[in-house]
Amino acid sequence: MKRSDRLLQSLLGDTAFNRRKFLGNACKGIVGATVIGEMAALTLQAQEASTGPTKAVNGGSDTTPIQLKPRDAATERKEEPVPSPLDPNKRVRYAIVGLGALSLNQIMPAFGECKYSKPVALVSGMPDKARKVASQYGIAEKNIYNYQNYDQIKNNPEIDAVYIVLPNGMHEEYTVRAAQAGKHVLCEKPMANNSKEAQRMIDACKKAGKKLMIAYRIQYEPNNRKAMEWVRNKQYGTVKLIDAVNTQNAGDPSQWRLKKALAGGGSLPDIGLYCLNTSRFLLGEEPESVISTIYSTPGDERFREVEETVLFQMRFPSGALVNASTSYGVHESRRYRCHGDKGGWFGLDPAFAYEGLKMELSQALDKSEWRQNPSFGQKNQFTQEIDHMSLCVLGNKDPYTPGEEGLQDHRIMEAIYQSAQEGKPIKLEKIAKLDAFRGTPPKPD
């Protein structure tokens, strides 16, 4: 028996090990193990393969939840599982590329809650800011890079992956350079400016044998995942209509989001993308046609280069229809509703915010309409998403939202623009498979 098999057997026990061998999966994660340490990867593999807690291995690699004695009656809501982080020395180590609003306000703080990931390097055009952030998060000054010497990350074995948080028009270049430097890539949405760039990003990561994941945080968030489950298991009948809105009022006309070369488009790729990507995620299907209308207020200097408002409809193979609205010119609203044909609708409002997501459920009950706000937990979406990427690196799995998922959104957005331009519906390639572009689903904590 190989050494890796012996380790896995000792972690899983005989029954689970034999089942795993039988399924032919036992050694799939061994390649990724060399990146971080074989034992860490095997621990995680074992965790995913076994329903019971893992056994202690190698001192600090033990991710077995610490069991606490329950205090409440069995009828009460169960407590969240005790966090069980991986030894910091065995986590996936990230260079954060771009220190703007999202990095500073969301991503860096989110690393504090990560269990399998840690920030070890920064890439920024502003050395003073980078030094300050490095000191705040315990990052060594020698691991600060700028956009010119970025390629030198190749010679830094302390970096396993990069998280690209730059304007959309820079995603391709910094993904390709990272892949060429031998690093895995987690890239912010939208993946790029267009499908050609997205395809080149996929090709570069494939060629380098590195993972590429697009940071679609909604697909890792528990309330959105519950809505997806209800759509898929027809909890309230067949969902025939999804109504989705994502709007905000853009300020500063000079910001990169309003420049075509850096943003790729206006409200559609930035926030309309949430309506598009989330409805594809909820249904698991791919649209077969789209139709759209685009409008920008004449003379509004914010919309000289990119569009203000996009209304688009998508038709899916099951007959489900999505009606989506996005705008950079009206007050913030971020919600969706899934309308089932068996006495209920459900959705989230807010649906796409960083926090405070709220489920809404409306059901027919005798002579009344019963409104509820069930909650399926509030988790840091960035933590969930970053740790998913790390588990994929550690266990050598395909991310749930790989580059192909981002590429598909670009193809659909291009059809949406074409539809508005030509004033007619645009047909898309027919894709029958469910979750056609998604990889390994995320595991709950």
Q: Which residues sit at the interface with ligand NAD, rule CB under 6 A? A: 98-103, 125, 165-168, 188-189, 215, 217, 256, 262, 270
d(CA 214, CA 403): 6
Scored b (16 or more CB within 10 A) or e, 124-140 reads beeeeebeebbeebebe
Nearest distance, CB of residue 376 and ligand NAD, angstroms: 19
Q: Which is nearer to ligand NAD, 166 or 324 (CB)?
A: 166
The answer to whether 397 is a known catalytic residue is no
Nearest distance, CB of residue 54 and ligand NAD, angstroms: 31
Q: Which is nearer to ligand NAD, 256 or 376 (CB)?
A: 256
d(CA 193, CA 65): 42
The answer to whether 116 is a known catalytic residue is no
Nearest distance, CB of residue 276 and ligand NAD, angstroms: 14
Catalytic site residue from 90, 189, 210, 379: 189
Q: Which is nearer to ligand NAD, 270 or 405 (CB)?
A: 270
Catalytic site residue from 274, 328, 400, 417: 274
Cα 189 → chain centroid: 8
> How would you write 71-83 as a 3-class SS string?
CCCCCCCCCCCCC
DSSP of 64-107: PPPP----S-TTSPPPPPPP----GGGSEEEEEE--SHHIIIII
Cα-based distances in Å from 314 to 58, 291, 324: 51, 7, 8
Q: Which is nearer to ligand NAD, 146 or 363 (CB)?
A: 146
Nearest distance, CB of residue 166 and ligand NAD, angstroms: 5
Cα 392 → chain centroid: 13
Nearest distance, CB of residue 188 and ligand NAD, angstroms: 4
3-state secondary structure of 185: strand
Q: Which is nearer to ligand NAD, 36 or 166 (CB)?
A: 166
**Which residues, 6 or more positions from 217, have their beta carbon under 8 angstroms from its beta carbon?**
381, 382, 384, 385
Which sign, positive or negative, has the C-alpha torsion 290, 296, 301, 304?
positive
d(CA 188, CA 99): 13
Q: Which is nearer to ligand NAD, 82 or 261 (CB)?
A: 261
The residue whose Cβ lies closest to ligand NAD is 100
Nearest distance, CB of residue 437 and ligand NAD, angstroms: 18
Query: Treating both helix axes as pointing N-terminal to C-terminal, what angle do 38-49 and 381-395 enclose, rounded to 10 degrees?
Result: 110
Known catalytic residues are 189, 274
